[in-house]
Chain A
Amino acid sequence: MTEDLGTYAENTWCPGCGNFGILNAMKKAVEKLEERDIGRERMLISAGIGCHAKIYDYLNLSGLYSIHGREIATIEGMKLANPELKVIGFGGDGDAYGEGLSHLIFAAKRNNDITMIVHNNSSYSLTTGQMSPTSEKGYKGPSTPEGSIEQPLNPLMVMLSSGASFVSRGYAGKIEHLTDLIVEAVEHEGFSLVDVLQPCVVFHDDQYQKYNEAVEILEESAENRYEAMKLTEETERLPIGVFYKEEQPVYHKELYHDLNVVEDKMEQNKRIENVKKLLDKRR
């Protein structure tokens, strides 16, 4: 089944890249979602710019290949236009936690019904390995030859404090777990973040080893937002799974209830009549 989710595009990720794990997990997740009556015909994807984003060409799903950091706003627009659609955005750490961080924070704040999957490899790999928002202090790249002097961002903490209603972390090396995480994130009504530890074999050659040793599957989600925040600060072990999840009112429903401006578009004659009424009110 997953074969027909692929395309003819030549895969240009480096051998061993963590992105393969995410691609495979996504394909499996689509199958599982289809079993749960979320058909691929109403799934839309988007991606930013970077290694991660090539997933757009490798997945035989509809969508819009966006620009750096803006894929978050792109999928918000898709969902607002037609809430019947399930929208999934792929971003890199540079996209979602750098260039587009404001969009991510506000999508979480508003609880837009979108799913963001962030391929977090702590490096700007496609542009030759500069430091990223999640690079560790001391990270050496072409823009920081003496090592990064900045503290890394804790993206899950940012998301939790922005009011995100679904915050999770997966690992590209644990495909089954990541598959289930994606399914749960897509099924969650509201904003969902899946931060994925994605080893970069070129600019972070120790990541697989580090993650294989430290990653630990969470037995259950945190009871509240503050407990979840504590979990994000753990560095010795790296918990993966759903850190926190809650139900919140969803943006498009709060704004417009059940109206779907595309599917239930007001007929032309009705619209014209209503415009005429507005004109006549001032006569």
Chain B
Amino acid sequence: MTAVNGTNSVEVHGLTRAFGDKTVLDGLDITIREGEFVALLGQSGCGKSTLLRILAGLDGETEGEMAVPRRRSVAFQSPRLMPWLRVWHNVVLGLSGGDRALAERYLAEVGIEEYAGAWPRTLSGGQAQRVSLARALVHEPELLLLDEPFGALDALTRGKAQRLVADLWQRHGCSILLVTHDVEEALLLADRVLVMDDGRIAYEAEVGLRRPRDLGSPDFVALRGELLRRLGVDDASAPSHHREEVTA
């Protein structure tokens, strides 16, 4: 499913964003090919979410060049459903001509069509996150932005949600940028993993492993080790991520 042709879905050059005198993004470059699944890793506070918000169009005070597709959707870290709207209405909110039948089709795709008439408050965290995914997909986005959507889920639910995202990606063929701090999640899902540090992409790795991926395979373990090292989890390599872009 990796880039059939060479067209890019996202092209960003020299993106800079500062809050006051704190520069969060510092001349960042990023490209995402059409239909590519990219995971963005980085320690908390490194600017991953800021980048995602900028790509989503929620933050406009930036410098640099940016080309993104017109149809973009976001699934946030928390589901952010309107508690006063039924589940189905949440899914098609903001969509002209969206009705319950359409909502139910997308809810079925994420496996919870039976909750179409429920109030969001009655859903579990995993279910609410699925509704949030359905809401993102109903716009048939060319670029789907996922901001740590599984972070708050328990391990079992997270595993299911990850498999669901992999399926949805295969089916819809959209480009995905997944922001996460979970190295395994990134390696399970993505074509390419980026590591962000100091407001730039400090490291990137193509994940050439065949899907579905095996957490125990030697290649997987090796990649995971390398990424952890790049993230500074293994202290042996802390100052090594300076500027040079390594492609594995």
Chain B binds chain A? no
The interface of chain A, by Cβ under 8 A from chain B, is none
